């Protein structure tokens, strides 16, 4: 691994391994689940990161409370929510399919394609979102449906993913934030680009803790504000609450890719190293190529250079360590919780 300019942080040596006679405790089955085969082989550094990172690494604006990661075989009844009555109504408009088609969207009596069709909604139809419900689809993954009301008073459920906000902000997860962050790569890159030269709270947190690159990525994609968008990144338990912990959690679930080229808007992960104190690193890949032949990335900073940066992938690898894999909203996020791309 290339190390340019020496470590950017004081090196924290890993703790000694436990005695051979002490077997590690078994992980809780509720904290580990799989959405795929997870059989991909990933080559990573032999550097051993610290076993426990500070509990505040996930968010940039204070500690993020622990959330139980769902077992996909048991969809929690708490995932069904209604908007508070005093909240400004969230009005959305039906958009074309991911392929650009104008197929109508089915309004169903309940969440799930097995339920009856109340009516069909043409592209451009405006709906008020009054609630949401997660179900488990045939592939074993969570799928988000919105409870909606049409202008003529018909009510029912529609599968999320083919909407754009007309007015208001969702009062329940997944939040569509006032600045347009909706979990999509486009909105994440736009938000990250607006932080370039600033965002120093990620690189040098006010509480003196280590840099929060995972908090930066989670904020850009709206995961901090909507845990169900990507539980593995919101709470990587039983791994460290760090970029490396999130990578391990995603890898366990078969949600890490290694094919090149890395696509625009991907979340890319870097190996734990002395430069990043063993916590790994995460950044967002853009679709623009740098003169060195690698794509530009958007990344949070570090001690001594805390501002958000736009730099080439090769430059960032020299600063923090080698790339070990990446993921995308289409691969890792719960269906319907990111902007566009869902089926009708």
The residue behind tokens 């329940």 is: 172
Most confidently predicted of 133-142, 161-170, 196-205? 196-205
**108-149 pLDDT per residue, tens:** 999 999 999 999 999 999 999 998 888 887 777 778 899 999
For position 98, what pLDDT does the model report? 73
25 or 241, greater pLDDT: 241
CB atoms within 10 A of CB 66: 11
Q: H/E element holding 189?
A: helix 185-195
**What does the angle CA 69 – CA 74 – CA 76 come to, to the nearest 5 degrees?**
70
Model confidence, pTM: 0.64
Structure tokens at 340: 């566009």
Structure tokens at 206: 């006010």
Q: H/E element holding 147?
A: strand 142-150
Q: How many residues does the chain have?
A: 344
Residue 297, pLDDT above cutoff 70: yes
Structure tokens at 4: 């340019």
Nearest to 207 by CA among 93, 60, 46, 24: 60
256 or 334, greater pLDDT: 256
Domains located in the chain, CATH noted: 29-70+181-332 (3.90.1720.10), 77-167 (2.30.30.40)
When the pLDDT of each residue in the chain is averaged and rounded to a whole number, the result is 76
Give the separation between CA 344 and CA 329, rounded to whole angstroms: 18
CB-based contact 202:212 (threshold 8 Å): yes
| pLDDT confidence tier of residue 189, bands split at 50, 70 and 90 | very high
Rounded-to-5 percentages of helix, strand, coil across the chain? 15, 25, 60
């Amino acid at each position: 691994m290339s190390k340019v300019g020496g470590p950017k942080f004081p090196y924290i040596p890993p703790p000694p391994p436990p005695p051979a006679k002490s077997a590690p405790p078994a992980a809780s089955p509720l904290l580990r689940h799989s959405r795929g085969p997870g059989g991909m082989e990933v080559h990573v550094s032999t550097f051993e990161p610290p076993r426990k990172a500070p509990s505040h690494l996930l968010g940039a604006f204070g500690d993020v409370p622990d959330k139980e990661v769902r077992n996909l075989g048991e969809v929690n009844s708490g995932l069904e929510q209604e908007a508070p009555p005093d909240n400004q109504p969230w009005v959305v408009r039906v958009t074309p399919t991911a392929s650009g088609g104008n197929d109508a969207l089915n309004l169903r009596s309940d969440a799930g394609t097995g339920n009856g069709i109340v009516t069909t909604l043409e592209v451009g139809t405006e709906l008020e979102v009054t609630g949401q419900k997660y179900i488990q689809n045939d592939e074993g993954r969570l799928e988000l449906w919105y409870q909606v009301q049409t202008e003529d008073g018909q009510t029912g459920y529609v599968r999320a993913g083919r909407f754009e906000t007309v007015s208001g902000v969702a009062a329940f997860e997944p939040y569509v934030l006032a600045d347009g962050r909706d979990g999509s790569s486009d909105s994440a890159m736009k938000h990250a680009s607006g932080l370039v030269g600033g965002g120093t709270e990620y690189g040098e947190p006010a509480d003196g803790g280590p840099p929060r690159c995972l908090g930066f990525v989670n904020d850009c994609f709206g995961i901090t504000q909507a845990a169900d968008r990507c539980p593995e990144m919101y709470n990587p338990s039983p791994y460290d609450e760090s970029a490396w912990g999130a990578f391990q959690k995603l890898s366990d679930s078969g949600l890490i890719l290694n094919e090149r080229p890395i696509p625009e808007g991907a979340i890319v992960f870097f190996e734990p190293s002395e430069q990043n104190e063993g916590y790994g690193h995460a950044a967002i890949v853009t679709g623009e190529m740098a003169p060195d032949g690698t794509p530009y990335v958007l990344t949070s900073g570090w001690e001594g250079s805390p501002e958000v940066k736009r730099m080439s992938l090769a430059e960032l690898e020299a600063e923090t360590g080698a790339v070990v894999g990446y993921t995308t909203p289409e691969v890792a996020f719960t269906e319907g919780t990111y902007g566009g791309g869902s089926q009708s």
